[in-house]
Structure 1
Amino acid sequence: MAPAAVSTNSSADDTRRHQPFEFNESVQSLVDASDNLEALPTKYNLGDTNDTRASSCESLPVIDYSALTSSDPHQRSKAIAELAEACADWGFFVLVNHGVPKELIESMFATVREFFRLPDDEKKQYEAKSTSSPIACGNFNLKSTSNETFTLWRDFLKLYVHPDFHCPTKPQPLREILAEYTERTRKMARELVGAVAESMELDRQYVEEALELDSSFQKFGGNFYPPCPQPDQTIGLPPHNDPGLFTILLIHNGLAGLQIERQSHWFEVNPPPNSMIVNVGDHLEIFSNGRCKSSRHRAVVNKERERLSIAVGNGPGKDVVVGPAALLVERDGGALYRSMKYQEYVESQLSRTFNGISILDEQRIST
């Protein structure tokens, strides 16, 4: 949901780092103020460092949530095996038959879009005071050591929604809609974690207690990408990994823009209607001792249409020290990752200087 690295390709820009959340002029107001914006303002222009070429992805795994929760043991066992393979291979999958009402999803998109339509002076009250601010909206900047600053072509809204629930006061319907949607996705993520635990022959209750899922830290992210006059010169979200266990993503009208890195190649995802995109977070990779894979991904923009996405990140309890599960360490003959408190990991990811190595890379133990 938030960049852990700011380079727009795998090899360059190792001097860049991202800054804490800031609120300058929203991209929405910039576009609204111009009748015909033909060129990017300098601060949005990444220039030759930006390379967002990607191949079409036709083989992203599809997981049937209704089969995963089925009372038919054969059907459920098959779905669990497919989920485990998807988490180990791509680290991403399409979730279908998820059971979240279409009306709730449409209301979620409508109210989030309404929030982004608010005047900048109303949204600015939610400018983050620190990386741990429970409500934040605004811009996200990249800054080089030579003090060049670039702004992402994106307006964002970030909310901490569990175990404590935070929400802006406007638009008024947002609170109730958000509470219902995040509760449903929280239960869904817990079911996915449980199914992965079963695939690793771990006791589900042991996993839930070890990760303190009753107090699971859940973060909501709304991302708005207006049409861009020079989409090849900027980016919406640079390559990054998500912290946590699973992130559940909705893309309005299925518009292309999400790109996933796999085996050093980038692939563009075109999700089918009424589906969700789910990805493995860093902490599921760590807890599984590398059986699950957290994959880098990014969001690109386009010239023709605005794009809106909603991401809900689901983690362990914020005070949990996450390391490989003890039973897996015993089975594997050693831990492949260092342990670290979840809240410290997230804050370090948001505030660290990027040197070409992600915080997940640093947690890996060389063997």
Structure 2
Amino acid sequence: MGDQDESSSSSFSMGKSAQERGLSYVPECYVIPTSHRARLTPQVAPVPIIDFGKFKRGSDQERAVVIQEIRTACRQLGFFNIINHGIHKSVLDGALSMASEFFELPGSEKAKFMCNDVHKPVRYGTSFKDGVDEFQFWRVFLKHYAHPLDKWINSWPNNPPNYRETMGEYCREVMKLSLEITSAITESLGIGPTYLTKKMENGMQVVTVNGYPPCPKPEMALGLPPHSDYTCFTIVLQSFPGLEILHAEDGKWNLVPQLESALQVLIGDHFEVLSNGLYKSVVHRATLNTERTRTSIASLHSLGIDEKMGTAKELVSEEQPQRYRESSFRDFLNFLSANAIAEGKSFINSLKLV
């Protein structure tokens, strides 16, 4: 989550967004059709919980069980929670705290990073656009590239004063975890644990820090529209529930429950391509509430910006012909610049051959 923008063709207002003004009503440009609205009391998703400690430190038998659990989760939902992932709770809490502190800064401070160019490696935005004729979402965000960390960290905000140090520690730990998750997923596909190791070590980590302010009528708007992520996968940390996933079989939206210190893993478009459709990228959205700002940190992991992801040849046969064309992170950015994601344009659909 977090790779979808509503900013590709419009300029941002340099003032406060509608959300930040504390409006007592929902402006018409935020109101979504009744058929697309979230329920105030959504059904909670039966999300698989993967004990990642058993993958890293367990017996061969325990490790094999975890691999099978990941395989099942990726085939059925494209989504799972992981616990015992090795990142200390203080690191998770520190990252969420920095996210909240950044969004609480004066508008003039955040505006230093305001930009509507999706190719920029560091940028801040709100969904508020000049004019009222374009559809908007109830969200503010900060995006920055994060790997290799020493290349990008000095371009991040230095206010709050500890942002770079605290968020940098989180990004470093999540990057290490992402390589372990990659190994587990490729092993679960039967193509081996080192299939993508080198490419992911040299790949992209894009971190999207999201803020979803209180909304007076949360059922009438969304923080993010339904979408799948262009990445191999996304690792999400959220302050409290608000992430919903679409169950492919029954077409119903389910709320992802909160688990203490857990992280969420969302399969992205490029792993759907790699798996030749065996694993599906999960469609998800961000919902709102009336009480407080929800923050989430989405760490999106992919190959290098111009490295093409194609289907593993081991997963192609006469019975299972190749179903997708290859693409890169830059291809996605170009797609995002030219298409209205909020209107239902899908990057993964543009890759399908059959």
* TM-score (normalizing by structure 2): 0.89
Match of residue 105, structure 2, among 113, 118, 126: 118
Query: Does structure 1 residue 75 correspond to structure 2 residue 66?
Result: no
Instruction: Supply the distance in 2 between the matched residues of 1:92 and 1:134 (Cα, whole angstroms).
Output: 27
1:201 maps to 2:186: no
Asked whether the 8 Å contact 2:17–2:127 carries over to 1, the reply is no
Q: 2:164 is paired with a residue of what secondary structure?
A: helix
Shift of 1:197: 1.3
**1:108, CA displacement in angstroms?**
0.8
Identify the residue that residue 247 of structure 2 maps to in structure 1: 262
2:20/2:213 contact within 8 Å kept: no
Q: Counterpart of 2:119?
A: 132
Unpaired segments ≥5 residues, structure 2: none
Give the distance between the partners of 1:18 and 1:28, measured in 2 at CA. Answer: 20
Residue aligning to 1:189? 178
Partner of 2:168: 179
1:359 corresponding residue in structure 2: 347
Q: CA deviation at 1:142?
A: 8.4
* DSSP-derived class of the 1:165 partner: helix
Q: Which amino acid aligns with 2:252?
A: H
Report SS of the residue matched to 2:230. Answer: coil
- How many residue pairs were aligned? 345
Structure 1 residues 142 and 118, CA gap change in structure 2 (3 angstroms)? closer
Q: Which amino acid aligns with 2:242?
A: G
Q: For 2:348, give the aligned amino acid.
A: L
Residue deviations 1:51-78, cap 9 Å, x none? 1137412411111110111241001010
Q: 1:22 aligns with which of 12, 16, 31?
A: 12
Amino acid at match of 2:2: A
Aligned to 1:39: 25
Over the aligned positions, Cα root-mean-square deviation in angstroms equals 2.5
User: Which position in structure 1 is the counterpart of 2:77?
Assistant: 90
Unaligned runs of 5+ in 1: 7-16, 32-36
Q: How does 1:1-367 map to 2 (within 5 A)?
A: 1-2=1-2, 4=4, 19=9, 22-24=12-14, 25-27=16-18, 29-31=20-22, 37-46=23-32, 48=34, 50-53=36-39, 55-140=42-127, 148-163=133-148, 164-166=151-153, 167-209=156-198, 212-252=199-239, 255-263=240-248, 264-330=251-317, 333-354=320-341, 356-366=344-354
Name the structure where strand makes up a greater proportion of residues.
Answer: 1
Q: TM-score, normalised by structure 1?
A: 0.86
Contact 1:23–1:137 at 8 Å: present in 2 too?
Answer: no
Give, in whole Å, the separation in 1 of the partners of 2:45 and 2:136: 32
Cα distance per residue 1:142-172 (max 9 Å; x no partner): 899xx82133111111111113424112112
Q: Which amino acid aligns with 2:223?
A: G
Percent of residue pairs bearing the same amino acid type: 30
The answer to whether the Cα contact below 8 Å between 2:205 and 2:300 also exists between their aligned partners in 1 is yes
Q: 1:350 to 1:162 in 2, by over 3 A?
A: farther
**Which residue identity lines up with residue 27 of structure 2 in the other structure?**
P
SS at match of 1:213: helix
Distance 1:47 1:292, change over 3 A: closer
Quick one: distance in 2 between partners of 1:95 and 1:290?
Answer: 23
State the alpha-carbon separation in 2 of the partners of residues 136 and 351 from structure 1: 19
Over 3 Å counting, the alpha-carbon distance change for 1:80 and 1:198 in structure 2 is same
Q: 1:201 to 1:217 in 2, by over 3 A?
A: same
Measure how far apart 1:141 and its partner are: 5.7
Distance 1:20 1:323, change over 3 A: farther
- Contact 1:115/1:171, CA 8 A, preserved across alignment: yes
Aligned partner of 1:316: which letter? L
Helix, strand or coil for the counterpart of 2:194?
helix
